[in-house]
């Protein structure tokens, strides 16, 4: 049981590092005087790096038959690069260090999730009881970083990132190792996975829904600052957003019903539309912070239902491929489109119009999810696809 406690601690620390990177990198870049277009360019290019890096490190972990040692290597590199990133000010260095951090830090996510699943099974602990600590770490660090930037300046993130990285290394070194789970994506398995219309429609739904989410993730902090908000308010916004996920993930065993995933996705889409539409009309940064509580009914509900639905509609031997494709689509491909297009739209039209646009896209996702429910689930159950 001590290994489960240590893994919970590691989830707290790693997702705290992710909060510093994913939520506050756009804010840091904005503080260095970069335009919205350049911020979108940097983060969008990072999404391309993620698409390459995650499968690559997954293959390395598979072939070396270890997760822990690969994670330690990635943590060492991430700690050094992250501290250098948040001490930089020139566009060239910011671009370089961001790309390197995407290459080393982001692949830790699927490796950590794999270790969560395997350790939970080995020691009789639920995945949710472990992963919840990641949501807590993300929320707490979001609040802490906001205050750190306010009182000590944006460059204080360099020291803070280094401290969290060192603590993560110490805890990771005490974890029980496990062989890498699943098989890497191959072109053959990918072709088979994408040969079913139901799979393709579902992945299209993921993309449509993910783009507005990722645009908000990238430009929420910039939008708050444009309304006159301080880094402290940005931290509070992400604290509310990430903190609202904790109970949802922890109670997913209770509310996530098999056979109702598309209805649950439609439910979350209603709140996506509402959240972004309200955000478009808000002029007070403190009110925009409070709106982030609606995250309770958006990302954690949508993503949990999406994973369960995917596991139902694909054969068991393709689940590893499906989960990898789902993660790359939601966090990689959609992130590229969101960052490039979002940065251009934000600079051209402003935050108000940008949020109206992503609210409209979310509405399309809502209508599409209801159409898929009517097509595949209403009045009948989904049969597992045959080879």
Entry pTM = 0.83
Residue range 100-148, pLDDT digits in tens: 999 999 989 888 877 887 777 778 777 667 888 998 999 999 999 999 9
Query: Which portions of the chain are predicted below pLDDT 50?
Result: 381-387
- Cα separation, 327 vs 48, in Å, equals 13
pLDDT given for residue 76 in this prediction: 98
pLDDT given for residue 186 in this prediction: 59
The secondary structure element, H or E, covering residue 342 is helix 334-349
The residues spanned by each domain of the chain are 1-184, 188-387
CATH topology match: 1-184 vs 188-387: yes
pLDDT given for residue 360 in this prediction: 97
pLDDT given for residue 321 in this prediction: 62
pLDDT given for residue 372 in this prediction: 94
pLDDT given for residue 303 in this prediction: 85
pLDDT given for residue 383 in this prediction: 44
pLDDT given for residue 113 in this prediction: 77
pLDDT given for residue 77 in this prediction: 98
- State the CATH class of domain 1-184: mainly alpha
Q: Burial-class residue 379 by CB neighbours within 10 Å (0-12, 13-18, 19+).
A: exposed
Architecture per CATH, domain 188-387, reads as: Up-down Bundle (1.20)
Chain mean position to CA 93: 24
Q: Burial-class residue 230 by CB neighbours within 10 Å (0-12, 13-18, 19+).
A: middle
Residues 330 and 50 sit within 8 Å (Cβ to Cβ): no
DSSP 35-85: -HHHHHHHHHHHHHHHHHHHHHHHHHHHHHT-SHHHHHHHHHHHHHHHHHH
pLDDT given for residue 60 in this prediction: 85
pLDDT given for residue 353 in this prediction: 96
């Amino acid at each position: 049981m001590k290994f489960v406690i240590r893994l919970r601690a590691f989830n707290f620390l790693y997702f705290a590092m992710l909060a510093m990177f994913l939520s506050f990198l756009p804010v840091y870049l904005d503080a260095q005087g970069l335009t919205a277009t350049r911020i979108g360019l940097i983060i969008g290019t990072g999404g391309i790096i993620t698409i390459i890096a995650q499968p690559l490190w997954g293959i390395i972990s598979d072939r070396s038959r270890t997760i822990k040692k690969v994670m330690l290597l990635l943590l060492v590199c991430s700690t050094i690069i992250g501290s250098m990133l948040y001490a930089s000010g020139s566009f060239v260095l910011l671009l370089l260090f961001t790309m390197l951090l995407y290459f080393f830090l982001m692949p830790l996510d699927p490796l950590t999730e794999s270790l969560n699943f395997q350790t939970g099974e080995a020691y009789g602990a639920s995945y949710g009881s472990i992963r919840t600590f990641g949501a807590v770490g993300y929320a707490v660090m979001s609040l802490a970083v906001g205050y750190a930037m306010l009182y000590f300046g944006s460059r204080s993130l360099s020291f803070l990132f280094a401290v969290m990285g060192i603590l993560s290394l110490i805890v990771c070194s005490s974890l029980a190792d496990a062989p890498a789970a699943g098989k890497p994506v191959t072109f053959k398995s990918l072709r088979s996975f994408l040969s079913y219309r139901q799979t393709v429609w579902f992945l299209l739904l993921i993309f449509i829904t993910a783009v507005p989410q990722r645009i908000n993730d990238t430009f929420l902090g910039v939008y708050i600052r444009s309304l006159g908000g301080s880094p402290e308010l940005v931290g509070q916004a992400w604290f509310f957003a990430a903190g609202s996920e904790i109970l949802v993930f922890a109670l997913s065993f209770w509310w996530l019903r098999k056979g109702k995933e598309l209805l649950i996705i439609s439910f979350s889409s209603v709140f996506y539309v509402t959240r972004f539409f309200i955000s478009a009309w808000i002029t007070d940064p403190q009110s925009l912070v409070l709106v982030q509580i609606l995250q309770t009914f958006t990302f954690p509900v949508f993503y949990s239902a999406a994973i369960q639905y995917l596991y139902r509609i694909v054969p068991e031997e393709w689940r590893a491929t499906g989960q990898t494709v789902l993660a790359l689509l939601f966090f990689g491909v959609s992130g590229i489109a969101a960052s490039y297009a979002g940065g251009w739209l934000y600079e051209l039209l402003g935050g108000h119009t940008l949020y109206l646009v992503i609210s409209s896209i979310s509405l399309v996702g809502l209508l599409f999810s209801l159409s898929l429910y009517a097509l595949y689930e209403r009045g009948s159950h989904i049969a597992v696809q045959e080879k």
